[in-house]
């Protein structure tokens, strides 16, 4: 064996060893682990809405989509938007035998044909913020109507895109408002613990949400009521296109994005998603301002009726969240103010005692102080007030001490 042959054989053997090492490095596992980003992404995918992941380069957007496709058993088709011409998405004109009779069909690209043949799949539009305006315009019909030329993508195809902010994108562009308004925008960030455990070989698993079949009708009714309740009282929120170019390239409120929001709330409700997940989805559809207003409105919808609480204080169930409990107690005091009666006044005190015993006592200070001012001269003081007197006294003493400190600092 010649020296050259021996060297070639040794190099080939080393490449085989290197391939084995690469296989070991690529052998990772997944585990079910709470991750609100993944939950929001899978819910939006289940709702068949286009999703756009925003994040800095190297944050793991592409890896997340690859893992999502594997977890959902969907063939992944990746298209780098910036390296395509507009005709790649609108279709290439193909002249037939008799154009005057048959017209000129718009032929779709090969990747679209493969998706149609498969009948299902995950279409990943990567590097969307590097696509020039002409390409973005060609993408409008694909994202909204799922059409490429004369080809209609099947219902089993889901669309997810990824983009870097313009400041960190190579030759980046802001997204056009019409294209941006077609997506659910999710900010993709890294979690330290997830990255460390993933580099150790175990990444979180993306799974489709489990929808409760018995809650579907209720979920749709709740979603529609939530959005319509807000927009009925805040008509200016129906359409709010931002004034700055950068913000127009993100999530903003329009009839289209509110329709997407109804769908997202319905899916989140049917899946029993946590509020943090719902918050990501709602704000990703209509923007932070309208999104937070909607979430606050939904919280108010869940508040118990103050009249029902006053009717049976012993059986009353108060919200667990502090802000909602405070709002419920304030509503009870307001109800007594509207119709002051001795029985209702006593019932309100019983509710305040129950709230102090079952939660943060400081939440009852303000409603207790207000309720005390509603007493009529001929009303006897219920014994329950004595249980709250200490709480109110301590709170008022703390307020006076804080005021003295502020006054001394001001000097």
Residue of higher predicted confidence among 199 and 291: 291
- Cα gap 85→89, rounded to integer Å: 8
Question: Are 175 and 289 within one domain?
Answer: no
Is residue 267 pLDDT above 70, yes or no?
yes
Question: Are 169 and 42 within one domain?
Answer: yes
- On whether residue 235 sits in a domain, the answer given is yes
Domain boundary (256, 279, 301) is at 301
Is residue 394 pLDDT above 50, yes or no?
no
Question: Are 188 and 226 within one domain?
Answer: no
Number of domains in the chain: 3
Question: Are 291 and 397 within one domain?
Answer: no
- On whether residue 3 sits in a domain, the answer given is no
Residue 404: predicted pLDDT:
46
Question: Are 166 and 66 within one domain?
Answer: yes
Is residue 168 pLDDT above 80, yes or no?
no
Q: Which two tokens stand for residue 213?
A: 């079949």
Question: Are 132 and 236 within one domain?
Answer: no
Average pLDDT, the chain: 84
Residue 46, domain CATH:
3.40.50.300
Domain boundary (301, 330, 345) is at 301
pLDDT in tens, 214-246: 999 999 999 999 999 899 888 999 999 998 888
80 Cβ contact list (under 8 Å, min separation 6): 126, 127
Question: Are 156 and 286 within one domain?
Answer: no
Q: Which two tokens stand for residue 11?
A: 């190099």
Q: Which two tokens stand for residue 374?
A: 């509603």
Phi and psi of 64, rounded to 5°? -65, -40
Question: Are 400 and 361 within one domain?
Answer: yes
- On whether residue 15 sits in a domain, the answer given is no
Check if the beta carbon of residue 188 is closer than 8 Å to that of residue 61: yes
Domain boundary (273, 301, 329) is at 301
Q: What is the DSSP letter of 210?
A: -
Mean pLDDT comparison of 9-18, 96-105, 108-117, highest-scoring range? 108-117
Is residue 166 pLDDT above 80, yes or no?
no
Is residue 27 pLDDT above 90, yes or no?
no
DSSP-assigned beta bridge partners for residue 29: 202
Is residue 379 pLDDT above 50, yes or no?
yes
Residue 287: predicted pLDDT:
95
360 Cβ contact list (under 8 Å, min separation 6): 322
Is residue 289 pLDDT above 60, yes or no?
yes
The DSSP-derived string for 87-105 is HHHH-EE---S-HHHH---
- Cα gap 197→199, rounded to integer Å: 5
Is residue 52 pLDDT above 90, yes or no?
yes
- On whether residue 24 sits in a domain, the answer given is no
Task: State the distance between the two ends of the chain, measured CA to CA, in whole angstroms.
Answer: 96
- On whether residue 39 sits in a domain, the answer given is yes
Q: Domain limits at 352? A: 306-410
Residue 403: predicted pLDDT:
47
Query: Is the overall model pTM greater than 0.95, yes or no?
Result: no
Q: Which two tokens stand for residue 380?
A: 């006897």
For the residues 44-70, what does the mean pLDDT come to? 87
Question: Are 262 and 226 within one domain?
Answer: yes
DSSP-assigned beta bridge partners for residue 107: 92
Question: Are 73 and 169 within one domain?
Answer: yes
Q: 3-class DSSP state for residue 204?
A: strand
Is residue 260 pLDDT above 80, yes or no?
yes
């Amino acid at each position: 064996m010649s020296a050259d042959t021996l060297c070639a054989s040794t190099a080939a053997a080393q490449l085989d060893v290197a391939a084995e090492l690469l296989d070991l490095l690529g052998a990772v596992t997944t585990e079910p682990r709470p991750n609100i980003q993944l939950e929001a992404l899978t819910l939006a995918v289940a709702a068949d809405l286009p999703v756009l992941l925003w994040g800095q380069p190297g944050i793991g957007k592409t890896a997340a989509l690859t893992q999502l496709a594997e977890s959902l058993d969907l063939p992944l088709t990746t298209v780098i938007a910036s390296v395509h011409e507009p005709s790649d998405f609108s279709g290439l004109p193909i002249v037939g035998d008799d154009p005057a009779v048959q017209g000129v069909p718009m032929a779709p690209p090969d990747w679209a044909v493969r998706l149609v043949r498969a009948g299902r799949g995950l279409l990943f539009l990567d590097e969307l913020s590097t696509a020039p305006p002409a390409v973005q315009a060609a993408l409008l019909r694909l994202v909204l109507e799922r059409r490429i030329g004369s080809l209609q993508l099947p219902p089993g195809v889901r669309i997810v895109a990824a983009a870097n902010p313009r400041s960190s994108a190579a030759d980046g562009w802001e997204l056009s408002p019409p294209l941006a308004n077609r997506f659910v925008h999710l900010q993709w960030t890294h979690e330290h613990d997830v990255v460390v455990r993933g580099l150790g070989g175990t990444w979180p698993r993306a799974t489709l949400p489990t929808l409760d079949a018995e809650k579907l009708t209720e979920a749709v009714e709740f979603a529609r009521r939530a959005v319509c309740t807000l927009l009925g009282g805040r008509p200016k929120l129906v359409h709010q296109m931002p004034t700055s170019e950068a913000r127009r390239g993100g999530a903003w409120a329009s009839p289209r994005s509110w329709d997407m929001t109804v769908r997202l709330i319905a899916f989140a409700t049917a899946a029993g998603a946590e509020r943090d997940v719902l918050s990501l989805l709602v704000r990703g559809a209509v923007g932070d301002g309208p999104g937070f207003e909607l979430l606050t409105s939904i919280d108010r919808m869940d508040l118990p009726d103050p009249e029902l609480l006053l009717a049976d204080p012993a059986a009353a169930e108060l919200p667990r969240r502090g802000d909602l409990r405070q709002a419920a107690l304030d509503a009870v005091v307001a109800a007594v103010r509207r119709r002051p009666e001795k029985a209702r006044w006593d019932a309100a005190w019983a509710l305040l005692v129950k709230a102090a015993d079952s939660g943060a006592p400081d939440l009852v200070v303000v409603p207790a102080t207000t309720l005390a001012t509603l007493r009529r001269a001929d009303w006897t003081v219920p014994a329950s007030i004595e249980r709250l007197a200490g709480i109110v006294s301590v709170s008022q003493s703390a307020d006076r001490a804080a005021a003295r400190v502020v006054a001394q600092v001001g000097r």
